[in-house]
Structure 1
Amino acid sequence: MTSIGIYGNNGRMGRAIATIAASEGVAIAGGADAGSDPFPIAHAADVLVDFSTPAALESHLAAAIAARTPIVIGTTGLLATHQALLEQAADVIPVLQTGNTSLGVTLLEMLVREAAARLGPDWDIEIAEMHHRHKVDAPSGTALLLGDAAAAGRATRLAEVRVDSRAGLVGARSEGTIGFASLRGGSVVGDHMVVFAGEGERIEIAHRAEDRTIFARGAVKAALWLAGRAPGRYAMAEVLGL
């Protein structure tokens, strides 16, 4: 039986993953949280799942590499330096990093990429997201995932066209940019909408998460799929065979 180790096990997602794993008969090797030594869990588990913090990523990857244990990274708010660490780790172990582990968002990502490619630069792209009041990063990892998909559909990089906020006299919208709007409040699990706005018409593609277990279920599925893979970078679309 494949066993899963959880980094961030005392957080919302860590607890949800443990619950889903137990309900599906998947063994939990243990967990580690802020201040805990990540190395024992890495050696005890067949695969790791990390929903902790960006600050902990380096030590978690070091532990996974030392133990040669595959790792699923669901932590959001990652920077370019974190991506570089993931690339280095993927030379040694299987690494799956995603801004969202749900099936619905994975499908949404594909739809956004396809729509961006087919509609062309005449259509403006805006991404709006809302989360609970406790979320610390903005835009959300899922919003950025969708922004990456839209940019890829237009054969460009999100970093080159991203606009995070507009306030004051910012002037007319620049063609080809991808805008983000972030809302925070209440207990919202996660709402995301991608708007394609053309002349005289508008397309809106949305996903609303009603229960955190959809992410936990996807994370467990990704972990079981990743166990035993060759070193390299993987994506949720591969897990779901899309």
Structure 2
Amino acid sequence: MSGVKIAVVGAGGRMGRMLIESTLKDGEAVLVAAVDQAGTPSIGKNAGELVGLSCDVVVSADVEAAIAAADCLIDFTRPQGTLAHLALCRKHKTAMVIGTTGIEDDGKRQIAEAAKDIPVVFSSNMSVGANTVFKVLDIASRILSQGYDIEIVEAHHRLKVDAPSGTALRMGEVVANALGRDLKECAIYGREGVTGERDASTIGFATVRGGDIVGDHTVMYCGIGERVEISHKAGSRMPYALGALRAARFLASKENGLFDMQDVLGLR
């Protein structure tokens, strides 16, 4: 069996199924395990059948066995589960690709600590296109640093549980860093009532939730007489899955360390 051995957690979910499909179609990766929570409909099913493909992997609830069998675990689940899986990856010296959003500062510290022993790619957005936009935003923010108000608008499906999205927050961090600001101090996450004139030093966020929107993000640089907009729109979850596999292949040569997609794509 050649290629990076991949385990997918959350196999029955929308992102999990996309990861399974992408791995089965990838020429440099091999699906060795698929995991879901006990009692979910996918348990006991052939992982390939979930996506209309053929394979010999059966979906299991035994996440530790899956991690022990894999070179890399790909996780797009929820923060609590992801951090539990992180501890098991550290125990078994298994690399990990983390696409989970909503992880708070303590969880990020746990990821950084685990990365001393195993290689981890942790990114708010695994899409190659979105990460290209992050690089463009850094350049644009330095050029448009004076005379432009900056607003970030994001839209996702009705089932998304965190807001703003991890991608929107990462965009805000990129912009703030380029401008020499601290996002925690300059971000505005909501406006209501008589808010007064806009503070030019702030970065505004607006959130939309509805339907089946996969993920739309736009950064607006609003000047006098002109507006520059830089956008990324995802039509499916496939770009995230393909990026995650690219990250898994990147980690195959690493002993340890904490990386993100900018590292994977050589955009540092």
- Range class of TM-score, shorter chain: over 0.9
Whether the 8 Å contact between 2:156 and 2:214 is mirrored in structure 1 is yes
Q: Does residue 54 of structure 2 align to residue 52 of structure 1?
A: no
| 1:208 Cα deviation after fit | 0.9
For 1:127 and 1:80, how far apart are their aligned partners in 2? 22
Q: Does residue 29 of structure 2 align to residue 4 of structure 1?
A: no
* 2:54 equivalent in structure 1: none
Mark the runs of 5 or more structure 1 residues left unpaired by the alignment: none
Call closer, same or farther: CA 1:164–1:34 in 2, change over 3 Å: farther
Letter in 1 for 2:197: A
For 1:176 and 1:69, how far apart are their aligned partners in 2? 43
User: Which string of whole-angstrom CA distances, capped at 9 and with x for unpartnered residues, describes residues 14-56 of structure 1?
Assistant: 1101101111142112122345443222111001111000121
* 2:195 equivalent in structure 1: 170
Tell me the SS of whatever aligns to 1:107.
helix
For 2:118 and 2:201, how far apart are their aligned partners in 1? 37
| Percent identity for Structure 1 against Structure 2 | 40
* 2:235 equivalent in structure 1: 210
* 1:82 equivalent in structure 2: 107
Letter in 2 for 1:187: D
Tell me the SS of whatever aligns to 1:142.
helix
**Counterpart selection for 1:33 from 18, 29, 36:** 36
What is the CA RMSD across the aligned residues, in angstroms? 1.4
For 1:196 and 1:41, how far apart are their aligned partners in 2? 46
| 1:70 Cα deviation after fit | 1.1
Tell me the SS of whatever aligns to 1:211.
coil
User: Which string of whole-angstrom CA distances, capped at 9 and with x for unpartnered residues, describes residues 75-115 of structure 1?
Assistant: 01111111111111111111111111111101100111111
Letter in 2 for 1:183: V
Letter in 1 for 2:160: K
Radius of gyration: which is bigger? 2
Runs of 4+ in 1 over 6 A off after TM superposition: none
Tell me the SS of whatever aligns to 2:217.
strand
Letter in 2 for 1:14: G
**Counterpart selection for 2:204 from 137, 160, 179:** 179
Give TM-score, length-normalised by structure 2: 0.86
Tell me the SS of whatever aligns to 1:130.
strand
* 2:157 equivalent in structure 1: 132
Give TM-score, length-normalised by structure 1: 0.95
* 1:111 equivalent in structure 2: 136
User: Which string of whole-angstrom CA distances, capped at 9 and with x for unpartnered residues, describes residues 183-207 of structure 1?
Assistant: 1111111111000112222100111
For 2:11 and 2:146, how far apart are their aligned partners in 1? 43
**Counterpart selection for 1:21 from 16, 20, 23:** 23
Whether the 8 Å contact between 1:65 and 1:92 is mirrored in structure 2 is yes
Mark the runs of 5 or more structure 2 residues left unpaired by the alignment: 39-60
For 2:37 and 2:205, how far apart are their aligned partners in 1? 31
Whether the 8 Å contact between 1:57 and 1:82 is mirrored in structure 2 is no
**Counterpart selection for 2:174 from 121, 135, 149:** 149
For 1:197 and 1:172, how far apart are their aligned partners in 2? 15
* 1:92 equivalent in structure 2: 117
* 2:93 equivalent in structure 1: 68
| 1:121 Cα deviation after fit | 4.4
Q: Does residue 261 of structure 2 align to residue 236 of structure 1?
A: yes
| 1:241 Cα deviation after fit | 2.3
For 2:102 and 2:37, how far apart are their aligned partners in 1? 17
Q: More relative contact order in 1 or in 2 (CA 8 Å, sep 6+)?
A: 1
Tell me the SS of whatever aligns to 1:3.
strand
